[in-house]
Structure 1
Amino acid sequence: EEVTEQLYDAKANQFLADRFVIGTCPKCGHDEAYGDQCEKCGSTLNATDLINPKSTITGEIPVLKSTKHWFLPLDRYQDFLTKWILGDHAKDWKTNVLGQVKSWLDDGLKPRAVTRDLDWGIDVPVNGADGKKLYVWFDAPIGYISATKEWAARVGKNWEPYWKDSETKLVHFIGKDNIVFHCIIFPAMLKAEGSYILPDNVPANEFLNLEGNKLSTSKNWAVWLHEYLIDFPDKQDSLRYALTSNAPETKDNDFTWKDFQARNNNELAAIFGNFINRVVVLAHKYYDGIVPAPNEFNDIDLNALAELKAYPAVISSSIERYRFREAQGEMMNVARLGNKYLAEQEPWKMVKTDPERVKTQMYVALQIASTLTILCEPFLPFTAKKLCSVLNIESNNWNLDFSEWNLVQPGQKIGASEILFAQIEDIEIEKQIEKLEATKTANKQDQELLQVAITSQKDVIQFDDFAKMDFRIGTILEAEKMPKANKLLILKVDTGIDVRTIVSGIAEHFTVDEVIGKQVTVLVNLAPRVLRGVESQGMILMANDAAGKLVFVNANDKVVNGQVIN
């Protein structure tokens, strides 16, 4: 428990923490860092660390004000965390995770506030903590345990082994911005309680960007899955493959539509799909889709089968070490092995001179194809299901004995070939890029709207003053330019009460034809005023858009003229 100075928004009468304050990151200079974290460099911050802080509630510059909070004494766990992470897990945790944790530990851990001055959230269960709420990253990890308990109660299981049994393997799959919470704060909490297991690994990824910009669902800068599946039907695995190929496992990476197209066309279609198609087509051409019995294997066959035998263990090891990109690359090497074997053996030529030798070649090629069917499932599950059907493989699991080279048996009937990965055309990719460009334009316009200079609030008026103003819906019936005046239009407006003349300074923003028929909002009881010899009997409400152009302030739907605006 400690009294500290925190940022305070006097206008909102509220302390500012976490996402309620924004400013410049002291670590990387990013000017949109939050009070608890910089999303650009991933640094965890305190609100008072920010340079030039500003309230996200009112935009006001906050002041420092004293308040009491409760702290998690992370400094007491400095030695434990250093040994546990940098010692015990120095070889099996990812370098990006170790690097960020080491930076924290090298700076020296300090007590961290785990309470907030908020009017919503979980109450702090401590005497004297009225009005205080728990910090979200203190109670959120406890929610993992609560969720396990709720699930266990629902299915009739004991929850404790999942969190307290030393044989349980706890893994946190997170993004780099949450490394500190899952590697330092939550483990310190678990250690302090004493009876819970610690994470076995925290294989955090860095950030994946989209076409060079940060993903943002709020700004619509994203690839929405429901839209993707409409635009690219039956291409679930193409997206999975591209995402795994570009997975930001140790550094930020970028998803681009051009790269997505290249991955599908040049790798999945040209390498994987091409190999499977060649094998199945040749098997039907030479043996009516029946797996041939092999003759004697030569050294080339045995070398290919020996290389094939090694892949399940290699891929398994990569997956178990959370190197998914590496594992997928090894899976594709199986397809490359198959293409290389066929290209060197040339069974389409050999069949004319030594058809018995071709039986062995095709048997080996079919073993490569069937092994690939099983090994691709973690990465291409929809494709694996199709291949199981084509190759007539009933059991698709990793527990098979690959060393027997008999995943498909002599005499076994296989199905006809089908296109696994159709080419993605340029026009399909251009459509996606244009969609993002439209989003970028819309976001720019929204940003410009936010940057329009806003005038200060006028003096406060009483409700009775406001009630005196009579706003009505009206329609412009006629319009003409005011002679010798560039800015003025003379309008005939049906106010529902009458048809009256109003002189409006909108000529530089609208033509005569553009305003006729427009419904507008009219202040009908404004005292008449003579402008260039014409009496104006009211005022039309207008506003400025981001570009400074006048726009009418009117109802969204058609309204009867004369309706009062309250």
Structure 2
Amino acid sequence: MGNFNRYLITAALPYANGPVHIGHLAGCYLPADIYVRYLRAKKADVKFICGSDEHGVPITIKAMKENVTPQDVVDRYHKIIGDSFAAMGISFDIFARTSAPIHHTTASDFFLKMYNDGLFEEKESEQYFDPEKQVFLADRYIVGTCPKCGNDKAYGDQCERCGTSLSPDELINPHSALSNAVPVKKATKHWYMPLQNYEPWLKEWLLEGHKDWKNNVYGQCKSWLDAGLQSRAMTRDSNWGIKVPLPDAEGKVLYVWFDAPIGYISATKELTPDWADYWCKEDTKLVHFIGKDNIVFHCIIFPAMLKAHGGFVLPENVPANEFLNIEGEKVSTSRNWAVWVHDYIKDFPDQQDVLRYVLCATAPETKDNDFTWKDFQTRNNSELVANLGNFVNRTMVLTHKLCGGKVPRLHEEAADDTDKEMLAVFQATKESVEASLEAYRFREALAEVMELSSKGNQYMQKKEPWILAKAIENIKAGKPAGDYTEADIPALQAKIDNCLHICLQLMANLAIFTHPFMPFTSRKICHLLKVVDRMLEWENAGSAKLVSVGYSLREPELLFKKIEDDTIAAQVEKLHAGLVKPAAAAAQPAAPAKAEIQYDDFAKLDLRVGTIIQAEKVEKADKLLKLLVDIGTEQRTVVSGIAMHFNPADIIGKQVTLVANLAPRKMRGIESQGMILMAEDNGKLVFVNPAETVAPGSGVS
């Protein structure tokens, strides 16, 4: 762990303009939590710091869209984000806010210290200005037509339809999002930090002193430094943020990327009066956990700020992860292409560790990776249920069945090479897991833990205590027991005891090793073994004496449950159903209206929500699918002409609206007992279904 007396671990401050999704978790919050839980298990003096970033243009854009104040936005999302982290077991010591008075004071003082030391340059530049609202406009406040795709709602920094990066000068017919006025350019003064002055120091400190950093981090920093640094504005024209603490700075605030990282300092101040020990003493190890989009700010700009100010420690490491895609596509919050953490918690109550496990096992540590619901299901069923959960359950069940539910003793005189080899694996696993965690290789560390569980299953299968127990039972009943006789009973029982004693000690080690990754599961194992949390301290890892001989254990309970196909199908459907599609280049004409009807005509229809439980193609009919639809009270066969639009396997589990009182009709020799409602969008068929999953048979009115 190095020669450090304390650890300061930070996780990137999330923007308080929306909820957090699983890409955020995989990017920095889960790795940071794993590392902190490991440090705490080692009894290290550690503080885990985070909070919501409540300033900047995204906040004001959100407020403008919702016609509320920026404070309303940050108040709402600070709670949603904090609750999501807490529910997932992300164990911050504090989750602070950059809108807090202590942060405003800390950031203002930081700026003033640099200003008084003459470390800023004052520059005038021309920026876009709204002549009606009399305010300067950030790029996102300027809207116009994209020169690439013709989208007339493109922003001044990006077109969200085609994804092209833009500048306001490139927009066709630009106008202010605040007033629709045509923006003009106007001179404004700001304070710049001359980053080029810190370039020689950064090259020595970073490029020479931190060659051990992850390749993606080191490479991006080297690219920036090789290209040469420029002065960067540390203030902005805005009325939302931390006011620039100077007399001639009316309408100006600190640049959010100057303000936000100082939030780590102010949060630590809020947490403890000893904050300076963690920020100013050289024997502190500071580690920033971030995503790759924040590398430059945490590795170049913030360290330069800390160096310029003086008196602060610098980061020892910045183990940034790459991005996590969803079902093969980049996460897009604007398109709602994301798996939101608060939704996951609602849909999978008490299964936080399944998501923690999958996100760690597939973490984008060195390159972008992909989350799919099918992989989520497979890893749960094949790895958690069939490996870790299976080993723990077999150990508990056999201990109750063969040893009266009490920890049997280890008969050392009867221990064979297989027993001794298994015991030696405990310490070897500790060393390998520890080495991986220290190097921020969390996927590798988790794989070592699961390998120990797998070895436990293999060991138990090889020892076959149930076969030995059956031999004892047969001997006592006077039945044939192979070559065993009554004289062999003590030796057979010793082998059973040894196997289950070693499995229980292995199970206790798994509680320690899984705790950084799956804390809820770890505590379930402790509960089954009736041991206290103190056993989870890292010094106990690798020991073969964690559970006491003769100690009574609780009744077996399953750690994990199998996830069925319909559950996964529902999540995939939910993801696609929630996708916000880009506006079409030209609106398609609506279908012509049909003749007017009376309410009584509509009331004759019996519309019910159903779930497709089977789907197959109808022989010799290219356009027809035969569906079995569950409508609660019964299952209906429906023949539908949608085969050209849907793969049968893809629509199982989908909810549909069924006309349930339509007279049966034979199609290709199959009696169709209803009709499914569909919508047509530019030639594409779409199921008409409820916005939320409802019970099959629910009426539509």
> Is TM (by shorter chain) over 0.5?
yes
Give 2:384's aligned residue: 268
Q: Output the CA distance in 1 between the equivalents of 2:358 and 2:438.
A: 21
Residue in structure 1 matched with residue 402 of structure 2 by the alignment: 286
Q: State the AA in 2 paired with 1:88.
A: G
1:24–1:322 CA distance, 2 compared to 1 (3 A): farther
Letter of the aligned partner of 2:401 in structure 1? K
- Residue 139 of structure 1 corresponds to 259
| Structure 1 stretch displaced more, 322-331 or 75-84 | 322-331
Residues 308-387 of structure 1 mapped to structure 2, 5 A cutoff: 308-351=426-469, 352=471, 353=484, 354-387=492-525
Q: Normalising by structure 1, report the TM-score.
A: 0.71
Give the distance between the partners of 2:257 and 2:521, measured in 1 at CA. Answer: 40
Residue 233 (structure 1) aligned with residue 233 (structure 2): no
Within a 5 Å distance, the mapping from 1:162-561 to structure 2 comes to 162-295=278-411, 296=413, 297-351=415-469, 352=471, 353=484, 354-394=492-532, 395-402=534-541, 404-440=543-579, 443-444=580-581, 447-448=582-583, 451=585, 508-513=592-597
Contact 1:148–1:159 (8 Å) recurs in 2 = yes
What's the CA shift for 1:105? 0.8
Deviations 1:208-244 (A, max 9, x none): 2222333345544333444433432332211111121
Does the CA contact (< 8 Å) of 1:19 and 1:56 recur in 2? no
Distance in 1 (alpha carbons) for counterparts of 2:145 and 2:298: 25
Is 1:86–1:102's contact at 8 Å kept on the other side of the alignment? Answer: yes
Tell me if the contact between 1:373 and 1:387 (Cα under 8 Å) persists in the aligned partners: yes
Residue identity over aligned pairs, in percent, reads: 50
Compute the displacement of 1:282 (Å): 1.6
Q: 1:141 to 1:39 in 2, by over 3 A?
A: farther
- 1:39–1:177 CA contact under 8 A, matched in 2: no
Paired with 2:249 and 2:543, the residues of 1 have a C-alpha distance of: 68
- The question of whether the paired residues in 2 share the 8 Å contact of 1:23 and 1:50 is answered with no
SS of 2:578's equivalent? helix
**Aligned alpha-carbon RMSD (Å):** 3.8
Q: Which amino acid aligns with 2:204?
A: K
Q: How big is each residue's C-alpha offset from its partner over 1:430-480, in whole Å with a ceiling of 9 and x where there is no partner?
A: 11111112112xx12xx337x557xxxxxxxxxxxxxxxxxxxxxxxxxxx
Change (3 A) 1:233 1:143: closer
The Cα shift of 1:269 comes to 0.4
Deviations 1:409-449 (A, max 9, x none): 22222222222111100011111111112112xx12xx337
Given that residues 247 and 325 in structure 1 are in contact (C-alpha distance below 8 angstroms), is that contact kept between their aligned partners in structure 2? yes
CA distance in 1, matches of 2:591, 2:317: 68
Q: 1:184 to 1:286 in 2, by over 3 A?
A: same
Greater radius of gyration (CA): 1
Contact 1:16 1:47 in 2 (8 A): no
Equivalent-residue separation in structure 1 for 2:132 and 2:300 (angstroms):
36
Note the C-alpha offset of 1:34.
7.7
1:333 CA displacement? 1.1
What SS does the corresponding residue of 1:512 show, helix, strand or coil? Answer: coil
**Using the alignment, how far apart are the partners of 1:102 and 1:53 within structure 2?**
39
Does 2:190 correspond to 1:69?
Answer: yes
Q: Which ranges of structure 2 fall in alignment gaps of 5 or more residues?
A: 1-121, 147-151, 472-483, 485-491, 602-680, 683-701
Of residues 74, 91, 98 in structure 1, which corresponds to 2:218?
98
TM (normalized to structure 2)? 0.58
Query: Is the CA contact (8 Å cut-off) linking 1:55 and 1:62 kept in structure 2?
Result: yes
**Which one of the candidate residues 235, 238, 255 is aligned to 1:118?**
238
Distance 1:366 1:147, change over 3 A: closer
How far 1:66 moved relative to its partner? 4.3
1:460 alignment partner in structure 2: none
Alignment of 1:89 onto 2:210: yes
Residues in 2 aligned to 1:174 and 1:61: alpha-carbon distance in whole angstroms: 38
Report if the CA contact (8 A) 2:290-2:321 is conserved.
Answer: yes
Unmatched 5+ residue regions in structure 1? Answer: 26-30, 454-505, 518-545, 548-566
SS of 1:215's equivalent in the other structure is coil
- Following the alignment from structure 1 to structure 2, what is the Cα–Cα distance between the partners of residues 8 and 301? 77
Aligned to 1:491: none
Deviations 1:278-336 (A, max 9, x none): 21222122111222222232222222211221222322332233222222111111101
Compared with structure 1, are the counterparts of its residues 54 and 264 closer, same or farther at alpha carbon in structure 2 (3 Å cutoff)?
farther
Distance, in Å, in 2 between the alignment partners of 1:95 and 1:53 is 43
Letter in 2 for 1:186: F
Partner of 2:114: none
The answer on whether the counterparts of 1:71 and 1:115 sit within 8 Å (CA) in structure 2 is yes
Flag the 1:150–1:388 CA change in 2: closer, same or farther, 3 A. closer
> Shift of residue 189 of structure 1?
0.8
SS in 1 for 2:555: coil
| 1: CA distance, partners of 2:346 / 2:561 | 16
Is the partner of 2:583 in helix, strand or coil? helix
Change (3 A) 1:228 1:142: closer
Task: Report the residue type matching 1:82 in the other structure.
Answer: K
Q: CA deviation at 1:175?
A: 1.7
TM-aligned CA deviation for residue 129 of structure 1: 3.5
Q: Distance in 1 between matches of 2:249 and 2:395?
A: 71
Contact 2:430 2:542 in 1 (8 A): no
Structure-1 separation of matches of 2:198 and 2:154: 28
Closer, same or farther: CA 355–515 of 1 in aligned 2, 3 Å: closer
Paired residue type of 1:412: Y
**Distance in 2, Cα, partners of 1:342 & 1:116:** 65
Q: Which secondary structure state, in structure 2, belongs to the residue aligned with residue 133 of structure 1?
A: strand
Mapped partners of 2:194, 2:544: distance in 1: 59
Separation of aligned partners in 1, 2:275 and 2:446:
34
Cα 1:38–1:136 shift into 2, 3 Å: farther
Q: Distance in 2 between matches of 1:515 and 1:206?
A: 57
Q: What residue is the counterpart of 1:158 in the other structure?
A: 274
Q: Which moved more, 1:385-394 or 1:61-70?
A: 61-70
AA at the equivalent of 1:386: K
Offset at 1:382? 1.5
Amino acid at match of 2:522: A
Structure 1 residues 414 and 38: CA distance shift in structure 2, 3 A = farther
The one-letter amino acid paired with 2:518 is L
